[in-house]
Amino acid sequence: MTPLNIPEWQSLVRHYSDLKYVSMREQFALDSDRAQNFLVKSGDLLLDYSKNRITKETMEKLVALAQSVNMNDWVERMFSGEAINNTEGRAVLHTALRNRSNTPVMVDGKDVMPAVNAVLTQMKNFCQQVHNGEWLGYTGKRITNIVNIGIGGSDLGPAMICDGLEAYGVEGISVHFVSNVDGADLSTTLEKLNQETTLFVVASKTFTTQETLTNAQSARAWFLKTAKQADVAKHFVAVSTNAKAVAEFGIDTENMFEIWDWVGGRYSLWSAIGLPIALYIGMDNFERMLAGGHEMDLHFRNQPLAENMPVIMGLLGVWYINFHGAQTQAIVPYDHSLARFPNHMQQLDMESNGKVTNREGQRISYKTGPIIWGTPGTNGQHAYFQLIHQGTQLVPVDFVLPVNSHYPECDHQSILLANGLAQSEALMKGKNAEEVRAELMAEGYEGKALEALLPHKVFPGNRPSNTLLFPQLTPEMLGQLVALYEHKVFVQGVIWNINSFDQWGVELGKQLAKAIVPELKDGAEISPHDSSTTNLINLIRTLRK
């Protein structure tokens, strides 16, 4: 099935032709209720989507598109445990990990909630032991540093949450994340730590991930400089399903935390992959985060499509990507602790919807996932905002704005919020030639000098943005935000008729890398490659000498 042939899609094509030159500034002037008409809430989270190139008719047509692809049915199929990940034959149940209502969720006739709850209990008991000083290092000292060794979903999500919830950190506990197989990542982390007080969490579902295992083995070698092999079990735990490999590494399988094949890596921070989060902020706060995610799940599952925050955001993304020709989406959090939020969203979106094949295995001819990027405001304003305001590309922006800071002793929040609001207003309104001329004349410009400068200071405006506003970045709110974007990505995958839950594009480079590693040794036989790769292998061998 291609969405291009759906009547509702074709209706949007015609609507875009009618609307493409309509100005948001004019729309606001004509409709004093516009801000209220394009606003939706979920708990304390508010989405203002009024600064988008839409009318009431646009949203009606977009919702009709969602209805035409049976969006509500797809949502139910996911929540009920159907194997909607068709290429791997798996259910998609990250929602079960945060199912605080504890209602049964069936996979192959079996309720998964008892297993989910058992792992949460295991995590809670372990965190309490570490925090209470019952779990001690091999010399009897308390654990003060947690090092998570993982990559991809076993790193980006947990690292982002720990940064975001730094204000909730347990006293006396620091957390570090090592993911890059570049030795500098591990070395610069370990040089600040002490073997006696460091606990490693090795996160690998299969316990075979090359980068993770390489880093874990080097971490163990560093640990064994002062300790014995028998002491490894006091300083290493695992999130995995491979008990044999975990035990061979030296980890007690009693301290192996289970994860299931229906949990995709980029959706796994809600699972035992979130163990470093729970160790850092405490299990009570981890469960508050789960509750926030569950609140967004209930909203997504139960609210009508026209009042559904993930659906609205997903449809707006389709509107810009497929009808306006946008290729990227900027996510700009006005909160320094959310510096890694765009990174996690990058993996979530691009690994999910970066596909050129539909569910039926046919090559598609329309655009799917956008390039996701962003940094915290106000830093971005002094970097890439020039292009967003006056460049030739259309870049929709999500502004993420907490009203209250966890750090009131630095009274900067009003300036921070004002900048976020001003950027969204400036993107929408722009500045026309008449306004620039009046401004330059007031500054004393006239004649040729004025006319020469004038075009450079014109802002076209009509640049779209969403504003996500909330009282404060709490565990519940961060849980809501992450779940919101997860569901937004799913909505777009349904519209595009792609499987958002596999990631075959990650595999090929990893397979080729395994073949190349031994070939970098001087004298080793080099298997057939293209001439460029073969030449580069030989150059590396020469330079290593």
Both tokens of 62, joined, read: 């977009």
86: in domain: no
pLDDT, position 448? 97
Is 351 one of the catalytic residues? yes
Q: Are residues 120 and 194 in the same domain?
A: yes
Distance CA(457)–CA(451), nearest Å, equals: 11
| Number of domains making up the chain | 3
Contact 205, 240 (CB under 8 A): yes
Catalytic site residue 519? no
Residue 475 lies in a domain: yes
> Is residue 522 assigned to a domain?
yes
Token pair recorded at residue 540:
């590396």
Are 533 and 468 members of one domain?
no
What's the rounded Cα separation, in Å, for the pair 470 and 466?
13
Cα angle for residues 314, 82, 312 (degrees, 5° grid)? 10
Answer yes or no: is 364 within a domain. Answer: yes
Indicate whether 121 and 54 sit together in one domain.
no
Residue 294 is among the residues annotated as catalytic for this protein: no
Alpha helices in 177-331 (DSSP H): 183-190, 210-223, 232-235, 243-249, 275-281, 283-302, 309-318
pLDDT of residue 491: 98
Residue type, 120: L
Examine the domain organization and report whether 54 and 119 are in the same domain.
no
The whole-number pLDDT of residue 118 equals 98
Read off the amino acid at residue 349.
D
Residues 518/98, Cβ–Cβ less than 8 Å: no
Confidence at residue 1, expressed as pLDDT on a 0 to 100 scale: 79
pLDDT of residue 410: 85
Residue 510, pLDDT score: 86
If phi > 0 it is left, if psi is from -120 to 50 it is alpha, else beta; for residue 426 that is alpha
What is d(CA 104, CA 116) in angstroms, rounded to the nearest whole number?
11
Pair 14, 130 in one domain: no
Q: What's the CATH code of the domain at 195?
A: 3.40.50.10490
Q: Which of 295, 351, 476, 486 is catalytic?
A: 351
> What phi-psi label fits residue 498: left (phi over 0), alpha (psi between -120 and 50 degrees) or beta?
beta
In angstroms, the Cα distances linking 365 to 127, 210, 324 are 50, 35, 16
Determine, yes or no, domain membership for 351. Answer: yes
Q: What is the pLDDT of residue 344?
A: 98
List the one residue out of 252, 247, 248, 196 whose CA is nearest residue 222: 196
Q: Are residues 495 and 515 in the same domain?
A: no
How far is CA 28 from its chain centroid? 32
- What is the residue range of 524's domain? 505-544
Do 308 and 392 share a domain, yes or no? yes
Are 314 and 489 in contact, with CB atoms under 8 Å apart?
yes
Calpha distance 446→439 (Å, rounded)? 11
Are residues 130 and 177 both part of a single domain? yes
Residue 446 lies in a domain: no
Tens place of pLDDT per residue across the chain (545 aa): 799 999 999 999 999 999 988 999 999 999 999 999 999 999 999 999 999 999 999 999 999 999 999 999 999 999 999 999 999 999 999 999 999 999 999 999 999 999 999 999 999 999 999 999 999 999 999 999 999 999 999 999 999 999 999 999 999 999 999 999 999 999 999 999 999 999 999 999 999 999 999 999 999 999 999 999 999 999 999 999 999 999 999 999 999 999 999 999 999 999 999 999 999 999 999 999 999 999 999 999 999 999 999 999 999 999 999 999 999 999 999 999 999 999 999 999 999 999 999 999 999 999 999 999 999 999 999 999 999 999 999 999 999 999 999 998 888 999 999 999 999 999 999 999 999 999 999 999 999 999 999 999 999 999 999 999 999 999 999 999 999 999 999 999 999 999 999 999 988 888 899 999 999 999 999 999 999 999 999 999 999 98
Handedness of CA 331, 332, 336, 339 (dihedral sign): positive
- What is the rounded radius of gyration, in angstroms, for the C-alpha atoms of the chain? 26
Length of the chain: 545
Do 198 and 231 lie in a common domain?
yes
For the whole prediction, is pTM greater than 0.75? yes
Task: Find the helix or strand (DSSP H, E) in which 417 lies.
Answer: helix 413-429
Which string of DSSP letters, residue by residue, matches 112-180?
-HHHHHHHHHHHHHHHHHHHHT-SB-TTSPBP-EEEEE--GGGTHHHHHHHHHTGGGPPTT-EEEEE--
Instruction: Please give the pLDDT value at position 36.
Output: 97
The H or E element spanning position 111 is strand 110-111
User: Coil, strand, or helix at residue 54?
Assistant: coil
C-alpha 535/C-alpha 542 separation (Å) is 11
Pick the catalytic residue: 382, 448, 456, 514?
A: 382
Q: Is residue 515 domain-shared with residue 483, that is, in the same domain?
A: no
- Do residues 474 and 418 share a domain? yes
Is residue 329 helix, strand or coil? strand
By three-state DSSP, how is residue 31 classified?
coil
In a domain, 457, yes or no: no
What is the pLDDT, as a whole number, of residue 395?
Answer: 98
Q: Same domain, yes or no, for 43 and 113? A: no
| In-domain check, residue 447 | no
